[in-house]
């Protein structure tokens, strides 16, 4: 941490349409945990543009595609044309040359209208393209990043298995090097963006060797490998019947004697664990923005309804219980947004952000789930109808407390960052 104060800035999106211009707060950045939360004009413009797109294009189609359980390729293509999939990547690779905060702002605004669309962007960039940008060779970047950054293709990140995910040591997928090729066998579960019509690549983690520790225990060598989806033996299994995120693409994968060139190694052999930890740390920041957007969407719907729904001759918002409930919803959104801003700014500044990412993910996911529950209660019977956005948020938000590291995993990370040795 640089002990001198910095002047990094971010701009905060408006809390609601009715609220007008965002309030701006400036805080000194000279000590850990304090930063400047004022968005630049460029960041604010991006946030507003994506918000308008979410309101005019994403929201009106959300119920239809949720019911069909289909990924709207026309909307994904429009996002690609806007440059959203390339926000944090250099222009030389087809990106927009922006920063990671820009991605987070876009994800937040999309998640406010439809979490499935928000997570398609978040996973497409954070889990699909970012590992290639961070760890790939120049040849790998030239081959894959332009199509991914322009939204012409999607990539997935194959980490989770039946007995592995948070516990990477449980990984059973293997990759053996034979005659200059990796021969991969195993299965993966819950892989986002893995089976769309435009999915071209999945990065998988596999055991490429084992060693014996001094205490006699076995240490697995984990390696990340790029697997094009048209490789023989790579099978996308039928999609899951999920509680929520119906529009988001999620599949199990089976790899049977999948052969890819040795050059498809992503990063160094045996560095797969370190690579995916970095991927997850960064991904949690953008995932936290998705959580914040969901919490914000519930707040806006509840606030609108409380001002227009009349009972006993007055709107329900004049009832102190309803008003106080909405006030708590606003408090959660505020805390979640500040938490992910803090993590994003540290990431952009090249400062340690592991604990901040976990804090933001935990705070944001709990805010989304709590706000979804409260918004549904405020709507009453209407909140139980699937065409109501708050009903979709209620179904969608639970996975926010599970995906990209459960709440319990975030608590484990935070406690370890505080110097507590937990199991």
Task: DSSP letter for 145, please.
Answer: H
Nearest to 284 by CA among 392, 400, 188, 368: 400
What are the structure tokens assigned to 317, written together? 């918002």
DSSP string of 25-91? -----SSTT-------HHHHHHHHHHHHHIIIIIHHHHHHHHHHT---HHHHHHHHHHTGGGTTS-G
> Helices 320-348 and 100-113 meet at what angle, rounded to 10?
150
Catalytic residues: 404
Contact (CB, 8 A) for 155 and 236: no
What are the start-end ranges of the E strands in 117-180?
Answer: 154-158, 174-178
Q: Is the dihedral of CA 72, 133, 89, 334 positive or negative?
A: positive
Contact (CB, 8 A) for 115 and 397: yes
Residues 6+ apart with CB under 8 A from 136: 144, 145, 226, 266, 267
What are the structure tokens assigned to 324, written together? 């106080």
Q: Is the dihedral of CA 277, 279, 282, 288 positive or negative?
A: negative
């Amino acid at each position: 941490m640089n002990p001198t104060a910095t002047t990094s800035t971010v701009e905060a999106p408006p809390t609601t349409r009715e609220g007008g211009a965002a309030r701006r707060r400036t805080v000194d950045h000279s000590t850990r945990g304090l930063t400047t939360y004022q968005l630049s004009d460029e960041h604010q413009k991006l946030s507003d543009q994506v918000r308008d797109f979410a309101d005019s294009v994403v929201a009106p189609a959300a119920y239809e595609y949720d019911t069909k359980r289909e990924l709207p390729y026309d909307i994904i293509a429009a996002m690609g044309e806007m440059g959203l999939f390339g926000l944090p990547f250099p222009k030389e690779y087809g990106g927009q040359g922006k920063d990671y905060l820009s991605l987070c702002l876009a994800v937040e605004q999309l998640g406010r209208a439809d979490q499935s669309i928000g997570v398609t962007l978040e996973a497409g960039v954070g889990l699909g393209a970012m590992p290639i940008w961070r760890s790939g060779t120049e040849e790998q970047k030239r081959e894959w990043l332009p199509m991914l950054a322009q939204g012409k293709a999607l990539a997935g990140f194959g980490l989770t298995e039946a007995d592995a995910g948070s516990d990477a040591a449980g990984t059973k997928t293997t990759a053996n090097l034979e005659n200059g090729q990796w021969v991969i066998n195993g299965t993966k579960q819950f892989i986002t963006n893995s089976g769309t019509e435009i999915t071209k690549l999945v990065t998988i983690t596999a055991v490429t060797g084992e060693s014996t520790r001094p205490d006699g225990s076995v240490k697995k060598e984990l390696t990340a490998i790029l697997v094009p989806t048209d490789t023989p033996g790579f099978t996308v299994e039928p999609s899951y019947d999920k509680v929520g995120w119906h529009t988001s693409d999620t599949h199990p994968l089976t790899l049977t004697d999948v052969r890819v060139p040795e050059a498809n190694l992503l990063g160094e052999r045996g560095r797969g664990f370190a690579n995916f930890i970095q991927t997850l740390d960064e991904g949690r920041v953008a995932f936290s923005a998705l959580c914040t957007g969901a919490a914000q969407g519930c707040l806006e719907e509840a606030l609108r309804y409380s001002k227009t729904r009349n009972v006993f001759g007055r709107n329900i918002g004049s009832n102190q219980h309803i008003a106080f409930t909405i006030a708590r919803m606003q408090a959660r959104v505020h805390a979640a947004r500040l938490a992910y801003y803090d993590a994003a700014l540290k990431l952009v500044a090249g400062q340690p952000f592991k604990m901040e990412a976990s804090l933001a993910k935990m705070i944001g996911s709990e805010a989304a789930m709590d706000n979804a529950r409260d918004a549904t209660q405020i709507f009453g019977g209407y909140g139980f109808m699937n065409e109501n956005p708050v009903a979709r948020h209620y179904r969608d938000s639970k996975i926010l407390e599970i995906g990209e590291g459960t709440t319990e995993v975030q608590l484990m990370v935070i406690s370890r960052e505080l110097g507590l040795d937990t199991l």
